[in-house]
Amino acid sequence: MTPSAMQFISPLTFQALSGNPVHTELFDTDDGCMNAGGRAMHGAIAEENAMGHINLARWADALVIAPATANTIAKCSHGLADGLLSTLYLAATCPVYVAPAMNQAMWNKAVTQQNMQKLKAHGVIVIGPEQGDQACGETGFGRMSEPAEICSRLLAEPKEQFLKGLKVLISAGPTREPLDPVRYITNRSSGKMGYALANATLKAGAEVTLVSGPVMLTAPVHADIVRVETAAQMYEAVISRASKHDIYIGAAAVADYSPVVMEQQKIKKQAEQTTLTLQKTRDILAEVAQLDQRPFTVGFAAETHDLEAYAQDKLARKKLDMIAANWVGHEQGGFDSEQNALQVFWANGQKTLAMTDKNHIAEQLISLIAERMETKKA
């Protein structure tokens, strides 16, 4: 329990209700906890008083921080270790789950969202928060997920490493097509979906190469990251690697057109109207699918209308194994959003993945890809 937690409930109440020891201090003079029953596990911890926090971190199969305040999230994401909880987080080698709980404005604050991105990039599994009435009287995102929901997410993990031994190549983010030394054409892709897919794929045990356009996200620690800027650079990075991979997921929003000429000097403001000449970029996804040694190839389709028709057309025309289609320009989901819903199509089937956070939907999509690969092999 942190000092703030103890403002709400006393350690004695927590110990009595749970029947377990309660740890509160980083450096305790005794065995480091309120002891309810002197269990065997606890004796082992007491043997090494000075390193109690390290033992505590190593003993657990999973670390769950619930409720996780904005303060705790900020500390963990920056590697501060000034209390028992933040030290435990830093010393833990097991899977870590965080269930945020805070006022909606604190949750929506850019710095909190950046800290959450960092935690996710470090492999932390985020549960919630939920939307609804808050203790402070406001309404919005920030309610801690129900304990039953937290338990069910814990029990659902960790899935077996069903992609162990496989190599997965993922493209993410937008591209930038330069017009002159100071200007470029780009799009609203944040890269969040591709980065969430990289994390989910790593969790499933695969080796991941992430070819990323310019984004404001922290790269997954265990992925091999290749940073590119233009569609042409992304093409080179992907095509030169694709045959050495088992799966390619094209989640990047690659520019369809690029300026024919990149001016060496800044274009000056002169005429009332001006015209840019653009040329089509090479379709990376379609070319990966044409390779002799092609990986299982998965595309994305972001559409503002006729979602299914366009997705089915891309699946067939680009000769993909699977395509994940999502709406853009709607109130929820799509570009630069924390959430997404996907309609996934393959040769003779489809599945709808309902609106949820991008990490969760990425895990569902990765499971589906593994399932379809097995079927294709069979």
Residues lying near ligand C5P in the complex (CB under 6 A): 171, 231, 250, 252, 254, 256, 281, 283-285, 299-301, 314
| Residue 167 one-letter amino acid | K
Q: Which C-beta is closer to ligand C5P: that of 109 or that of 282?
A: 282
C-beta of residue 353 within 8 angstroms of C-beta of residue 323:
no
Q: What is the DSSP string of 175-210?
A: --EEEETTEEE--S--SHHHHHHHHHHHHTT-EEEE
Of 41, 339, 365, 352, nearest to 204 (Cα)?
Answer: 365
* CA distance to 10, 50, 136, 139, 355, per residue, from 142 (Å): 24, 37, 11, 9, 18
C-beta of residue 180 within 8 angstroms of C-beta of residue 192:
no
Contacts of 272 by beta carbon, 8 Å cutoff, 6+ apart: none
Angle, helices 84-91 vs 52-59, to 10°: value is: 60
Q: Which C-beta is closer to ligand C5P: that of 85 or that of 249?
A: 249
Quote the CA–CA distance of 368 and 362 in Å, as a whole number.
10
* CA distance to 124, 143, 149, per residue, from 82 (Å): 20, 26, 30
* Annotated catalytic residue, options 76, 94, 136, 151: 136
Q: Which C-beta is closer to ligand C5P: that of 98 or that of 254?
A: 254
Q: Which C-beta is closer to ligand C5P: that of 124 or that of 193?
A: 193
C-beta of residue 123 within 8 angstroms of C-beta of residue 89:
no
Angle, helices 358-377 vs 192-203, to 10°: value is: 60
Contacts of 129 by beta carbon, 8 Å cutoff, 6+ apart: 99, 100, 101, 102, 107, 141, 142, 143, 144, 145
136 is catalytic: yes
CB of residue 238 vs ligand C5P: minimum separation in angstroms? 8
Quote the CA–CA distance of 178 and 176 in Å, as a whole number.
6
In the block, which residue shows the tokens 């850019």? 110
Strands (E), the chain: 63-68, 96-100, 125-126, 130-133, 139-143, 167-172, 177-180, 183-185, 207-212, 224-227, 247-250, 257-259, 278-280, 296-303, 322-327, 339-346, 349-357
Q: Which residues are catalytic?
A: 136
